[in-house]
């Protein structure tokens, strides 16, 4: 899982054959890395647009010049945060799984990174599904799960009602990738609340089993950030998480997400 692309300068538009090689590597490896980039917002958006239309950010206070660009940062200016998701560890999740059309891909560009921590972990959803015991595959076949954007009280407190106004959507527990045709486990510890049409206790037990399984170390790649890293991952077949880091150190990354299709 994961591939480094070398010899590409994203300050310049890509030739079609170069892009096709990058696309093929992304489909094969799920996560691609381009190190040593010195790019603007426009450069990053231009690269993202080769894969599909960027998804417009709905958190208005963190939008930059382009409506699809958002900062991920713990930095404050004049006492106000300049970005979202500032400090601490984040559990495994897939971006925008609470929406009808979750992000196909997410792209992070590292501008400032802490000396230790703040790493990003990636889990391979293909391998997680392929390695499930046959009896578990049978239990989840055709099932759907509710995913909520409520980091504080939804998925972390299963069995409670979702707070009023919290965005949520129901998606298949197992989804089929539209390009590769492979199946991937599509639930996550941070945002998946329950499996539909299943008793609460059974749903909780099954989800816990799936979470523990998909987070096994043999499915994980841990990325240690360097300034100038451009990292892009496929939300349709992978999960990601963040390790803790000192709140006294600055962390600044620029994110662009690419609109996806409704999972099937």
Residues pairing with 255 in the sheet: 70, 108
Which of these, 229, 259, 2, 22, lies nearest to 123 by C-alpha position? 2
Q: Is 95 a catalytic residue?
A: yes
Active-site choice (95, 150, 229, 234): 95
Q: Is 64 a catalytic residue?
A: no
Tell me the C-alpha to C-alpha distance, in Å, between residue 55 and each of 35, 94, 101.
Answer: 24, 15, 10
Tell me the C-alpha to C-alpha distance, in Å, between residue 18 and each of 13, 15, 100.
Answer: 10, 5, 32
Please give the Cα distance from 231 to 111 (Å, whole number): 12
Which tokens go with 198? 């299943």
Which of these, 211, 242, 263, lies nearest to 97 by C-alpha position? 263
Q: Is 93 a catalytic residue?
A: yes
User: In this structure, what is the dihedral angle of CA atoms 235, 98, 103, 80, given to the nearest 10 degrees?
Assistant: -110
Please give the Cα distance from 173 to 204 (Å, whole number): 14
Q: What angle do CA 120, 3, 18 make, to 5 degrees?
A: 125
Residues pairing with 32 in the sheet: 3, 232
Q: Is 223 a catalytic residue?
A: no
Q: What angle do CA 86, 106, 206 make, to 5 degrees?
A: 85
Active-site choice (29, 43, 93, 175): 93
Active-site choice (98, 177, 223, 240): 240
Q: For residue 155, what is the enclosing H or E element?
A: none
Which of these, 66, 65, 84, 64, lies nearest to 74 by C-alpha position? 84
Any idea which residues carry the catalytic annotation?
93, 95, 240, 255
């Amino acid at each position: 899982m994961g591939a480094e692309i070398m010899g590409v300068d994203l300050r310049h538009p890509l030739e079609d054959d170069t892009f096709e090689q990058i696309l093929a590597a992304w489909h094969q490896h799920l996560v691609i890395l381009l190190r040593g980039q010195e790019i603007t917002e426009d450069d990053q958006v231009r690269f993202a647009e080769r894969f599909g239309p960027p998804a417009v950010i709905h958190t208005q206070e963190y939008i930059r010049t382009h409506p699809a660009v958002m900062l991920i940062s713990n930095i404050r200016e004049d006492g106000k945060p300049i970005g979202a998701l500032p400090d601490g560890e984040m559990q495994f999740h897939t971006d925008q799984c609470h929406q009808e059309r979750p992000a196909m891909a997410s792209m992070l560009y590292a501008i400032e990174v802490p000396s230790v921590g703040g790493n990003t972990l990636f889990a391979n959803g293909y391998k997680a599904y392929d390695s499930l015991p046959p009896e578990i595959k049978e239990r989840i076949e055709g099932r759907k799960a509710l995913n909520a954007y409520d980091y504080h009280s939804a998925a972390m407190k299963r069995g409670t009602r979702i707070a009023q106004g919290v965005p949520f959507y129901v998606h298949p527990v197992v989804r089929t990738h539209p390009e590769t045709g492979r199946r991937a486990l599509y639930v996550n510890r941070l945002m998946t609340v329950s499996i539909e049409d299943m008793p609460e206790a059974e749903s909780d037990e099954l989800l816990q089993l799936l979470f523990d399984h998909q987070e096994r170390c043999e499915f994980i790649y841990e990325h240690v950030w360097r300034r100038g890293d451009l990292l892009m991952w496929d939300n349709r077949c992978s999960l990601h998480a963040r390790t803790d880091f000192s709140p006294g150190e600055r962390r600044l990354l620029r994110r662009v997400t690419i609109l996806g299709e409704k999972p099937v």
